[in-house]
Amino acid sequence: MTWRIGAPRARVFDLLYVPYAERQPRAFRDKVEVWERGSDMVLAAHRTRVRGRTVTTVETVRFHRPARIDFRLVRGPVPHVVEAFLLEERGETTELTWRGELGTDFGAVGAWWGRRVAAAWERAVRESVDGLLAAVD
């Protein structure tokens, strides 16, 4: 997924970083809990509402300011997920691209489950970026 955002790349990166900041805004406290913090990486629990239930995943989040944020699943509904937000300057705007890879096991049953998880994951990313776009306006 790719979005064109009317803000400089450094500003977009800072907005993506907000849920992981040491002084986390109250709005994110129910969604993201940082368990461990390093100089360029956090280990964080992410809480997402899916079909009326709260699902918790644990991910490492690595920050490569101002161009990239990488996510790697540690605990969740499938055995393998890696994702990245890539930020490219395009004049006065930023092109934000999200890429993800999801892996399953258990053959056809795992593939079926993976498709369900992927749809929910993509929806959660879209909602997060929509919140970011509202902050830019």
3-state secondary structure the chain: CEEEECCCHHHHHHHHHHHHCCCCCHHHCCCEEEEEECCCEEEEEEEEEECCEEEEEEEEEEEECCCEEEEEEEECCCCEEEEEEEEEEECCEEEEEEEEEEECCCHHHHHHHHHHHHHHHHHHHHHHHHHHHHHHC
Write down the residue that tokens 């997920």 correspond to.
Answer: 81
Higher local confidence (pLDDT), 98 or 131: 98
What average pLDDT does range 106-118 have in this prediction?
A: 94
Task: Output the pLDDT for position 136.
Answer: 75
At 115, is the pLDDT very low, low, confident or very high (cuts 50, 70, 90)? very high
pTM for the predicted model, two decimal places: 0.91
pLDDT(135) > 90: no
Question: What is the pLDDT of the chain when averaged over all its residues?
Answer: 93
Percent residues over pLDDT 70 in the chain: 99
Task: Output the pLDDT for position 51.
Answer: 80
Rounded to whole angstroms, the Cα distance separating 93 from 98 reads 16
Beta bridge partners of 37: 42
Thinking of the domain 2-136, which architecture would CATH place it in?
2-Layer Sandwich (3.30)
pLDDT in tens, 10-63: 999 999 999 999 888 888 888 999 999 999 999 999 998 888 889 999 999 999
